[in-house]
Structure 1
Amino acid sequence: MIRNTEPGRVEAVHRALVLLKLMAAQGSLSVTEAAKALDVNPSTAQRLLVTLVADDFAVQGERKRYEPGPAYGLGAVQPLRVRVRPFLERLFERVEETCHLAVLVGTEIHHLDGIEAVRTLRFGLRTGVRLPAHVTSAGKAMLAGLPREEVEARYQVAPRDLGKADLERLHQELALTRKRGIGSNFEESEPGVAAFAVALGAIDGEIAALSIAMPRARYGRGDREKFAAHLLRTAAEAREVLVR
């Protein structure tokens, strides 16, 4: 809830700026959330959001949630986690399984963000966790986009505990990943997990990927094709906006 306590403040402008900051912090914002934050009627919040859309400071996503638009920040670069968050949310809505955003750092993947599935039997969040790239779906997806020479160079300089990859076998896996368009992981990173991922490419110098993870016990026939379709669709939408 906001109060007009500053003399001379234009309340409509202040409210619009509050909504911009909320969108940047959360990745996206609904009309209901905006109305609650401003302590106004939903119709008032919607008019403010529509105005931001008209001036390219916001865009409306497929779930009628509002996301930062191309004019937001006037050229300032937002953190990768914030920029990708709307697409992570889209992927989660489509698959209803635990989803993550990861980046490639050397021969590791770093999980920057995630949304956990609302199921009794589910794969938990790994936000903040680092894992060897060659045993994860996201790592394979990102490594598959690199030249063979760069992959080998990364493992040559990797710390000994991270460099224990069979490079010939890894190259075979990466070739399969390129053919399928997605990386996969069946209990390689940890017992009981089935995971799939797609690379987004380089976004402002960071190689990123979106992944889906679920308990292996719930993995069924046709899941690979279903998840691949959603991953490829979401990645294409993200690249259109984020990859320059």
Structure 2
Amino acid sequence: MQRNTSVDRVESVHRALVLLKLIGERGSLSVTEAAKALEVNPSTAQRLLVTLVGDGFARQGERKRYEPGAELLRPGASHAIPPLRARLRPHLERLFERVGETVHVATLVGTEIHHLDGVEAVGHPLRFGLRIGVRLPAHQTSAGKAMLATLAEDDVDARYEVAMNSPRGTAMRVELADLHQQLAKVRRQRVATNFEESEPGVAAFATSIGVIDGERAAFSIAMPVARFTKADLPKFVSALVRTADEAAAALLL
């Protein structure tokens, strides 16, 4: 790594930029290769790479190598409606038709989910409103748990290590051992649940779609917990899995 001795340089920013250049030049980068290039230990290199993943500049591909993310592939781009939102909209509407409840599509950014789009079940007097544009802690939401479950355990730990050492870390309420137990269950069942974890009075269900355009995405269904019955669950699970599989087949070419 070529060193710059300027006292004004912010070392962490410099290291992140070096990694972005290497990912762009080589096409992919391992933690070991990043650590060697930066002359730092692997844990430091992994935290930097996970941060780039969280902000969309990198994604973890096969064999745990880090590849260009959506933001790196579209530098300087600004879209009023993100391409992913537009591509998933027909499938989101199909999910709404199948369940008749408020549905959303969300992406995973670090340890938060971002609600990109939704369809509100306006026909119900008592309903769950849209959350488009709202960010929520991933570990407290069904969509977040569905997407976290697609990650390796060490990737989940690395993301939360970064988040809990950030300014907002003191406000995070997460027990990693409990979270890993929940994620193991999601991996077996494909569908994650949220009963009043993210906000009072809400029952929600979600499943992962996969990685599209470098972003992890999930479909979710939300409704007032007072109106939910166990008889609803099989229909929701079937609709989520079917719609996610259809979207993945259409978009993950």
Superposition TM-score tier, normalisation by shorter sequence: 0.5 to 0.7
* Residue 164 (structure 1) shift: 3.2
Structure 1 runs of 4+ with >2 Å offset:
161-164
Deviations 1:111-161 (A, max 9, x none): 000000021000000001000000000000000000000000000001314
- Equivalent position to 2:113, from 109, 114, 123: 109
Contact 1:107 1:162 in 2 (8 A): no
Structure 1 residue 240 displacement after superposition: 0.3
Which ranges in structure 1 are unaligned for 5 or more consecutive residues?
A: 1-77
Code of the residue aligned with 1:128 in structure 2: it is: G
Shift of 1:225: 1.4
**How far off is 1:180 after superposition?**
1.0
Structure whose alpha-carbon radius of gyration is higher: 1
User: SS at 1:211's partner residue?
Assistant: strand
- How far does residue 163 in structure 1 lie from its aligned partner after superposition? 4.3
Show the counterpart of 1:96. 100
Amino acid at match of 2:184: A
Q: How does 1:207-226 map to 2 (within 5 A)?
A: 207-226=216-235
What is the identity, as a one-letter code, of the residue corresponding to 1:140? K
- Counterpart selection for 1:143 from 148, 156, 160: 148
1:170 counterpart = 2:179: yes
Q: Percent identity?
A: 63
Work out whether 1:238 is the aligned partner of 2:247.
yes
Residue segments in structure 2 that go unaligned for 5+ positions in a row: 1-81
Higher relative contact order (CA 8 A, sep 6+): 2
Q: Report how far residue 222 of structure 1 moved.
A: 1.7
Compute the RMSD of aligned alpha carbons: 1.1
Aligned residues: 167
Shift of 1:212: 0.2
> Residue by residue, what CA displacement relative to the aligned partner does 1:176-196 show, whole Å, maximum 9, x if unpaired?
111111110000000000000
Q: Which residue of 1 aligns with 2:135?
A: 130
C-alpha displacement at 1:243, in angstroms? 1.4
Greater alpha carbon shift after TM alignment, 159-168 vs 212-221: 159-168
Secondary structure of the 1:185 match is: strand
TM-score by length of structure 1 reads 0.67
